[in-house]
Amino acid sequence: MIIGRLVSLSSRRLAATLVALIGVFIVSAGAMAETLPDSTWVGLAPLPQQGRSPVFALAVDPADNHLVIAGNSQGALLRSSDGGSTWTTVHTGRAALTTIVFSPYTAGLVLAGARGGGALISTDGGAKWNAVSGLDGRDVRVFGFALALIAAGTDNGVYTSIDGSSWKQSGLPNTSIDAIAVAAIHSPVRLVAGSDTSTNAAGPPLYESTDGGATWSSIPAPISGTVISRLAAGPLPPTGNVRPLVAGTNSGLFLSKDNGATFAPLSGGDLLPSIDYTQVAFVTDHYDRFYVASDGGGSRTGGVWLTKDAGKNFTWLVPPIPSITALTVSNDEAPILYVATFRATDHTPALWAYHDTGGSPRGPATATPPASGVRIGRNDQNGLFDFLRPLSSSQTPYIALGVAALLILALAAVSHFRASRR
């Protein structure tokens, strides 16, 4: 009787141990599934009903590098909470989405702009959306965030808002604005805007406001090109109070360190190719680290590049398809890049993720999506030694945890077996 009770007690303890360890193993396996391979391009699940139109609107939550929102050409907004493994439609509309941006200063605030359809706002991280007021019928192409002000570039100049829900016209009417950068986030807010509207000034049309959009003046920027495609202002450098300003035009990339008074070319010659740069994204708090991207104008000269020294040197990240239509970068020291590409030969859009841990670019990985729990393949396999590769990656803690759980399971089973034989 006593032996039977001991065996029963041992069985219950073993069962409890097994349940706990299985839970630990499931958690560790889930963490492994959410880990992208280092510096490897991974294909993501396609957007539902995307068809053959490129994706121009893509954004990642600054507080959650697995929360991604995309907009398609049919006017739908799609949300993924697992890094692009699965997508859920959270809004349907009729106007093609042209831009999506998370606020870097207000948690949960997201704005989306549409072609001829105004803008939408979400205050819960993109789960629910509502139309804003004051932008009805406008082409909304870009947003810029200051601490207490939001600016939007449209086909009718610049609009501003305090909270993102209601907007008013704020200068440069009848001017088509494609790019906006917030060069000073504190009051008085300094805005820089770029246009595709031709003027008599030398170089592409560039404007600035030093009073939050109340008044505007032209910046005589002697840079090549006729259109400002993208503007981005980086964090403040360690010394000085002027943020670096990167300008992408239809013929090159340029950097200003003096509020636009002068620009240094970052493309041409032995530098970057002189093409249309439509994407620029700085890395967290680094004034000298940023990514740039281009669709190459339909040629194979497009791609994604990274600089770690303010444009002195660039590294091409070898994307699977060089025509880049959208780029968003997570708020991490080793960021995740979410990229939309478009293959012109057969009009095929695609989405990719790339965890930039500093290694040589590889890929694409054969398994998709990245958070599916499927073993991710590689293009440079080395036979029997491939199983050792994860031990040197960011997955190591999770693998070790799983192995430890399995060892404890085995020891518990042996202990139970011995006790039952007594």
- Position 201 scores a pLDDT of 65
- Position 96 scores a pLDDT of 96
The phi-psi region of residue 358 (left if phi > 0; otherwise alpha if psi is between -120 and 50; otherwise beta) is left
Q: Which residue has better confidence, 197 or 325?
A: 325
- Position 7 scores a pLDDT of 39
CB contact set of 78 (below 8 Å; sequence gap of 6+): 47, 48, 69, 70, 71, 72, 87, 88, 89, 90
Mean pLDDT on 406-421: 50
| Gap between the Cα atoms of 94 and 73, Å rounded | 8
Other C-beta atoms lying within 10 Å of the C-beta of residue 387: 8
| Gap between the Cα atoms of 184 and 240, Å rounded | 13
Residue 176 has pLDDT above 90, yes or no: yes
Could you tell me what percent of the chain has a pLDDT over 70?
A: 77
Model confidence over 80-132: pLDDT tens digits? 999 999 999 999 999 999 999 999 999 999 999 999 999 999 999 999 999 99
Read off the amino acid at residue 312. Answer: K
Q: Which residue has better confidence, 380 or 232?
A: 232
Model confidence over 276-318: pLDDT tens digits? 999 999 999 999 999 999 999 867 889 999 999 999 999 999 9
Q: Which residue has better confidence, 227 or 203?
A: 227
Query: Domain 41-355 maps to which CATH number in 3.30.70.1400, 3.90.700.10, 2.40.128.690, 2.130.10.10?
Result: 2.130.10.10
Quick one: CA torsion of 199, 266, 54, 105, rounded to 10 degrees? Answer: -90
Q: Which residues are registered as beta bridge partners of 282?
A: 290
Model confidence over 341-386: pLDDT tens digits? 999 889 999 999 999 999 999 988 643 333 322 222 223 333 333 3
| Gap between the Cα atoms of 34 and 4, Å rounded | 45
Mean pLDDT on 56-67: 98
Q: Which of 86, 122, 44 is nearest to 336 (CA)?
A: 44
> Where residue 50 falls among pLDDT bands split at 50, 70, 90?
confident
Burial class (CB in 10 A: 0-12, 13-18, 19+), 348: middle
**pTM for this prediction:** 0.80
Which tokens sit at 185?
């986030």
> Domain coordinates of the chain in residue numbers?
2-34+395-421, 41-355
Mean pLDDT on 129-158: 98
How many helices, marked H, and strands, marked E, lie in the chain? 2, 28
